C-alpha cells in the first residue's frame, strides 16, 4: 500500500514538472499576452504540493490512443502543439507513424468519394450538403475545412497564434474589449431588434466550428458557456495544446473584484483533412438550406421527423405547436429535471441560447408544418426516382419521403428570398447589393465553378457583425401593448417563457423595440455575462472571445483585408482615418504597437458604414463575396433556372410574395398587425390580412410537371463562367455576320441587277433593317457583357445567350429580318411578312397580361361572418 501511495505522488510530480517546463517554454516562445499571468498562477498552485513531491518516484503516464473523428477524420490524437513545437495536427503523429503512412491515413479518411452516389436528376438537397456541386460534391458539405480569402497568419507558419509585428505579444483580448468596445446604449433610429435576431438565426445555418478536446456526443460542447465540459481554466490545463484561454488583466473593473482570473476558451478543432497550416472545420452545411431547422445530417433530419404527412416533431401546449423537447435532457446542460423544465431541440444545437432565438426556431418549425399540411391536401405526385438527403436512392421514392422533402424545398426558397430581399439590403447597402449581384430578380443562373464553402474570415470575424446590434434588454409585448422587459443576461439557456404562451409576445417585442446602433459599443449582456447561468454572478466576454478566436483561426491583420477589399494600403495609424473614426484610431495607437497588428474583427466592426448600409467597406466585401457564392454556387437556389431542382416561373412568382411579416403573421397566433418591413422600426403596422400570401396551387401536379420540363437545358445551365463567355462570343459573331451578310448581299444584287430599283422606299427599308440588325446585336452584346475584378479575374460571364428568353427573341428577329430582306429581291411586298414580329408581340401581351386582367371573374361575395370563419380555418392550416 505504501509503495502504491508513493507511485500516485510520483504521477503528480511528473505532471507538475512537465507543466512547469511547458509553461517556461511557452513564455520564451511568446505564445500570447496571457502566458506570464498564467505561469505565475501555476507556480502558486505548485508550491502547495512541493514538499510532497520530493520523495515521489517518477511515473510515466500511458500513451495516447487513436480516437476517430465524428466525420471520419482522425482528430483526438492530432492535437496541434502550439508555439515552440511548430507541429500541425497530422505532424503530431509523426513520432508514432511514418510520414508516408500518415499521408495515406489522411487520403483514406478525408477524401472519401461522395460523388459516386450523386443523382443529377434529383430536385432535392442532401441534408449534409453533399452533391450540390456535381463536379465537386464535397464543396459546401458539413464537416469539411473552411475556405480562406487570404493565407493564414500563424506565428510559426503552421499552428501557433500570431504575435505582433515586433515579435511581442498582441494586446490582451479582454483589455481590448474593455477599452475599444465598452457598453453605451444608443438605440438605432431606423432598425428594429428583429434585424439582429434574424441575423443570428442565419448565422446558425452557416457556421459552427467544433471545439478541440470536446465530447462529441455533448449537445452544447461548442457554446463556450461557463458550464462547458471543456475546462481550460484550471491550473493543470492552461498549458494543454487544445486550450487558448484569456487571462483577466489585473485591475479589470468587472471580473477582478469577483475573483475571476481566466476566461475559458478551448481552441477550435483542427480540420485534419489536409496537410499544411492549421485549418478549421465547419460542422454545418455552407448553403442557405435551413440546416438550423432540419439539421446537417440525415441522422439529424430523421430524429426531427414525425414520419406522418411530411411533418416535423412538435409538442402541443394549449393548441400551440412548440419545438420538440430535448432528446437528452439529463445531459444537455440546459434542462432541469428537478423542476421539470425541459429545453428544446431543433436542427441546430444552439436553439436554447435565449428565448428570442428559440422563438425564431419555433416560427420556422410551424411554417414547415403548415406548408406540409397544405401540400398533403394538394396531393403532390409521388413515386419518382430521387436521391435521399443522405445519398440513399429508392425506386420509386416513398410517399413519406416526398411529403417531407417537398415542403422543405418551399421553406428553403422562402427563407432564401427573405435573406436576400429583406435582411441583406440594410446590412450591405444598395451599391454592394448591385456590385455582388445579390438583388433578387426572379431568374438567375447557377455557376458550377463557384465554391460556396464558408470562409474562415466570414465565420470568425465578419459575420459576427450582429454583436454590436444586440440590446441587453429584450421585451415581451402582449396584445394590449403592455410591455414586460427582461435582461438578456438573466435568460441564457432559459427558454421556458415559451411554455407560458409568450412566443408571440417575444416576437412582438423584436418587431417594435429598436436594436442598438451599429458602432463599436457592445452591451455588457455579452461582454460580462455571456452564457451566464442563473445562479452565477458572471459569464464570459463575447468580444474577447471573438478576438481570441480570430487569432486561434490564424486570421491575418485587419489592414491586409482592407487592402484586399479596397486596394487601400494602411502603413500608419493615421492612414486608418479614411475608414475609421478618429477616437477609435486613437485607442488603436495606444493599445497596438503597429497598425499591422490590429485584429480583423475589431478593425472591421469599427469602420464607418458604407452609403445606405450598416457595415464598413471591408465587412461589406467579405459578406458580399460570401453571399454571392451562396447564391451562384448553390445549385438549388430558388431563382436558378435550368436545374433539376428549379421552380417553374409561376412558382418563383409565388415565392417572391413571401415576406418575414407574412411568415410571422401565419405562425404567431395572436399577431394581428405588423409592419411590412420587419427589419425597420414600425412606421405603420398593417393588418395581417392585407399582406400578400403565396398560394400552394402552384405546387400541384400540373405545375410540378412544368417545372420538370426545364431539365432539357440542364447541360447548358451547368456551364462554367468561362465557357459561357466563349459560347456568347461565338453566338454574337454568328448573328453579327448574318446581320452584315444579308443587307450587303441585298444591296449588291440591286446594284448589279436592279439598279433602277434603288428608290427612296428601298433606302428607307434598308435603313430600317440596319437599325433592327444593329439594335439586336448591340442588345445581345450588352446582355452577354462579362465583368472582371481589378486583377483581371472573371467574376461573371454575363447572361448565357443560349439559355432562351429575351436572347432567343432577338435571334429570331435577326433571322426574320434577313429572310424578309432576301425575299424582297423578288417582291417588295415581302416586307409585310416582317409585321408578324409586332403581331406576335401583341398577341403574347394580350394572352399573358391584358386578357387575364379583362376577363378575371369578380371575387365571390362574402359576408363578415364567413370571412372570419375562413380566416380561423386558414390559421389552423
The b-or-e profile of 356-390 (16+ CB within 10 A means b, else e) is bbbbbbbbbbbbbbbbbbbbbebebeeeeebbbbe
In three-state secondary structure terms, 867 is helix
Q: Taking the CB of residue 32, how many other CB atoms lie within 10 A of it?
A: 28
In three-state secondary structure terms, 271 is coil
> Cα separation of 488 and 526, whole Å?
8
Q: Are 201 and 357 in contact (CB under 8 A)?
A: yes
Q: How far apart are the first and last CA of the chain?
A: 72
Which are the contacts of 875, defined by CB distance < 8 A and separation ≥ 6?
A: 666, 669
Q: Is 642 left (phi over 0), alpha (psi -120 to 50) or beta?
A: left
By the 10 Å C-beta count (0-12 exposed, 13-18 middle, 19+ buried), 219 is classed as buried
Q: Are 647 and 638 in contact (CB under 8 A)?
A: yes
- Nearest CA to 168 among 29, 268, 261, 322? 29
C-alpha cell at 427: 446590412
CA angle, residues 548, 236, 29, in degrees to nearest 5: 50
Measured CA to CA in angstroms, residue 486 lies from 186, 193, 477, 536, 540 at distances of: 18, 14, 11, 17, 19
Q: At what angle do helices 399-418 and 355-378 cross, to 10 degrees?
A: 130
Whether 467 has a binding-site annotation, put simply, is yes
> Cα separation of 378 and 310, whole Å?
13
Which helix or strand (DSSP H or E) is residue 322 part of?
strand 320-322
Residues in the chain: 877
What are residue 640's DSSP bridge partners? 444
> Cα separation of 78 and 81, whole Å?
9
In three-state secondary structure terms, 540 is strand
> Cα separation of 590 and 573, whole Å?
10
Q: Are 248 and 260 in contact (CB under 8 A)?
A: yes
DSSP per-residue codes, 457-503: HHHHTGGGGGGGG--SEEEEE-TT--EEEEEGGG-TT--GGGGGT-H
C-alpha cell at 837: 414580329
Q: Is 529 a catalytic residue?
A: no
Query: Does the CA dihedral 818-822-824-827 come out positive or negative?
Result: negative
Which residue matches cell numbers 499576452? 33
> Cα separation of 128 and 142, whole Å?
5
DSSP per-residue codes, 577-606: GGTS-HHHHHHHHHH-SSGGG--HHHHHHT
- What is the β-pairing status of strands 144-145 and 673-675? unpaired
Q: Are 287 and 129 in contact (CB under 8 A)?
A: yes
Peptide bond just before 642 cis, omega within 30 deg: no
Please provide residue 740's backbone torsions phi and psi, each rounded to the nearest 5 degrees. Answer: -90, -40
- Nearest CA to 467 among 602, 587, 560, 334? 602
In three-state secondary structure terms, 114 is coil
Which candidate in 80, 181, 204, 640 is catalytic?
Answer: 204
- Nearest CA to 695 among 877, 564, 859? 877
- Binding-site annotation: residue ranges for heme b: 467
- Tell me the catalytic residues: 204
- Binding-site annotation: residue ranges: 467
Amino acid at each position: 500500500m505504501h509503495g502504491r501511495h508513493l507511485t500516485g505522488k510520483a504521477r503528480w510530480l511528473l505532471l507538475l514538472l512537465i507543466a512547469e517546463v511547458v509553461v517556461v517554454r511557452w513564455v520564451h516562445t511568446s505564445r500570447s499576452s496571457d502566458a506570464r499571468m498564467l505561469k505565475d498562477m501555476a507556480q502558486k498552485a505548485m508550491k502547495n504540493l512541493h514538499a510532497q513531491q520530493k520523495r515521489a518516484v517518477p511515473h510515466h503516464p500511458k500513451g495516447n490512443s487513436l480516437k476517430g473523428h465524428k466525420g471520419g477524420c482522425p482528430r483526438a490524437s492530432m492535437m496541434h502543439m502550439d508555439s515552440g513545437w511548430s507541429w500541425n495536427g497530422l505532424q503530431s503523429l509523426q513520432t508514432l507513424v511514418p510520414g508516408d503512412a500518415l499521408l495515406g491515413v489522411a487520403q483514406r479518411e478525408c477524401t472519401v468519394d461522395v460523388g459516386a452516389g450523386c443523382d443529377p436528376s434529383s430536385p432535392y438537397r442532401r441534408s449534409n450538403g453533399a452533391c450540390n456541386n456535381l463536379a465537386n460534391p464535397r464543396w459546401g458539405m458539413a464537416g469539411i475545412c473552411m475556405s480562406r480569402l487570404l493565407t493564414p497568419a500563424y506565428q510559426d507558419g503552421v499552428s501557433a497564434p500570431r504575435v505582433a509585428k515586433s515579435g511581442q505579444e498582441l494586446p490582451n483580448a479582454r483589455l481590448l474589449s474593455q477599452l475599444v468596445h465598452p457598453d453605451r446604449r444608443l438605440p438605432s433610429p431606423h432598425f428594429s431588434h428583429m434585424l439582429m435576431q434574424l441575423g443570428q438565426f442565419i448565422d446558425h445555418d452557416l457556421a459552427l466550428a467544433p471545439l478541440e478536446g470536446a465530447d462529441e456526443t455533448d449537445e452544447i460542447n461548442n457554446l463556450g458557456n461557463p458550464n462547458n465540459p471543456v475546462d481550460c481554466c484550471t491550473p493543470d490545463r492552461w498549458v494543454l495544446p487544445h486550450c487558448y484561454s484569456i487571462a483577466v488583466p489585473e485591475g479589470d473593473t468587472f471580473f477582478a473584484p469577483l475573483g475571476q482570473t481566466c476566461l475559458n476558451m478551448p481552441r477550435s478543432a483542427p480540420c485534419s483533412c489536409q496537410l499544411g497550416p492549421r485549418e478549421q472545420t465547419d460542422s454545418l452545411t455552407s448553403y442557405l438550406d435551413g440546416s438550423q431547422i432540419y439539421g446537417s445530417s440525415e441522422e439529424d433530419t430523421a430524429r426531427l421527423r414525425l414520419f406522418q404527412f411530411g411533418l416535423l416533431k412538435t409538442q402541443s401546449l394549449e393548441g400551440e405547436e412548440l419545438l420538440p423537447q430535448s432528446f437528452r435532457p439529463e445531459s444537455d446542460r440546459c434542462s432541469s429535471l428537478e423542476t421539470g423544465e425541459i429545453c428544446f431541440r431543433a436542427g441546430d444545437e444552439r436553439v436554447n441560447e435565449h428565448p428570442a432565438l428559440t422563438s425564431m426556431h419555433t416560427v420556422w418549425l410551424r411554417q414547415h408544418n403548415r406548408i406540409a399540411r397544405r401540400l398533403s391536401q394538394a396531393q403532390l405526385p409521388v413515386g419518382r426516382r430521387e436521391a435521399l438527403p443522405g445519398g440513399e436512392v429508392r425506386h420509386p421514392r416513398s410517399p413519406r419521403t416526398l411529403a417531407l422533402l417537398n415542403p422543405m424545398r418551399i421553406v428553403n426558397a422562402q427563407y432564401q428570398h427573405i435573406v436576400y430581399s429583406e435582411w441583406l439590403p440594410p446590412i450591405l447597402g444598395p451599391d454592394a447589393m448591385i456590385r455582388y449581384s445579390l438583388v433578387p430578380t426572379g431568374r438567375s443562373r447557377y455557376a458550377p465553378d463557384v465554391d460556396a464553402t464558408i470562409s474562415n474570415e466570414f465565420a470568425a470575424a465578419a459575420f459576427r457583425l450582429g454583436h454590436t446590434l444586440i440590446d441587453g434588454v429584450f421585451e415581451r409585448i402582449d396584445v394590449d401593448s403592455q410591455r414586460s422587459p427582461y435582461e438578456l443576461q438573466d435568460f441564457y439557456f432559459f427558454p421556458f417563457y415559451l411554455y407560458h404562451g409568450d412566443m408571440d409576445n417575444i416576437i412582438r417585442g423584436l418587431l417594435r423595440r429598436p436594436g442598438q446602433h451599429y458602432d463599436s459599443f457592445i452591451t455588457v449582456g455579452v461582454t460580462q455575462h455571456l452564457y451566464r447561468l442563473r445562479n452565477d454572478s458572471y459569464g464570459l466576454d463575447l468580444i474577447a472571445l471573438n478576438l481570441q478566436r480570430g487569432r486561434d483561426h490564424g486570421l491575418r491583420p485587419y489592414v491586409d483585408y482592407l487592402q484586399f477589399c479596397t486596394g487601400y494600403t494602411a502603413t500608419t495609424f493615421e492612414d486608418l482615418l479614411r475608414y475609421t473614426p478618429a477616437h477609435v484610431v486613437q485607442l488603436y495607437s495606444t493599445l497596438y504597437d503597429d497598425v499591422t497588428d490590429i485584429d480583423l474583427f475589431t478593425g472591421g466592426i469599427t469602420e464607418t458604414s458604407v452609403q445606405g448600409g450598416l457595415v464598413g467597406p471591408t465587412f461589406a466585401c467579405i459578406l458580399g463575396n460570401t453571399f454571392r457564392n451562396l447564391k451562384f454556387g448553390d445549385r438549388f437556389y430558388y431563382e436558378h433556372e435550368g436545374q433539376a431542382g428549379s421552380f417553374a416561373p409561376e412558382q418563383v412568382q409565388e415565392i417572391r410574395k413571401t415576406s418575414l411579416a407574412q411568415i410571422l403573421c401565419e405562425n404567431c397566433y395572436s399577431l394581428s398587425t405588423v409592419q411590412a418591413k420587419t427589419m425597420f422600426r414600425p412606421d405603420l403596422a398593417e393588418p395581417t390580412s392585407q399582406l400578400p400570401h403565396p398560394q400552394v396551387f402552384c405546387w400541384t401536379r400540373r405545375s410540378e410537371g412544368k417545372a420538370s420540363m426545364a431539365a432539357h437545358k440542364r447541360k447548358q445551365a451547368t456551364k462554367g463562367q468561362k465557357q459561357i463567355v466563349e459560347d456568347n462570343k461565338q453566338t454574337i459573331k454568328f448573328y453579327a455576320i448574318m446581320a452584315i451578310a444579308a443587307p450587303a448581299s441585298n444591296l449588291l444584287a440591286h446594284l448589279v441587277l436592279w439598279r433602277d430599283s434603288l428608290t427612296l422606299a428601298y433606302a428607307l427599308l434598308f435603313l430600317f433593317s440596319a437599325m433592327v440588325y444593329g439594335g439586336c446585336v448591340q442588345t445581345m452584346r450588352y446582355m452577354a457583357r462579362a465583368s472582371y475584378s481589378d486583377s483581371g479575374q472573371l467574376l461573371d460571364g454575363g447572361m448565357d445567350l443560349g439559355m432562351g428568353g429575351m436572347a432567343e427573341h432577338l435571334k429570331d428577329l435577326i433571322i426574320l429580318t434577313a429572310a424578309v430582306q432576301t425575299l424582297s429581291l423578288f417582291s417588295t411586298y415581302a416586307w409585310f411578312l416582317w409585321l408578324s414580329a409586332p403581331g406576335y408581340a401583341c398577341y403574347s401581351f394580350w394572352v399573358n397580361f391584358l386578357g387575364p386582367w379583362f376577363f378575371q371573374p369578380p371575387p365571390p361575395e362574402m359576408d363578415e361572418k364567413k370571412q372570419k370563419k375562413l380566416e380561423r380555418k386558414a390559421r389552423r392550416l
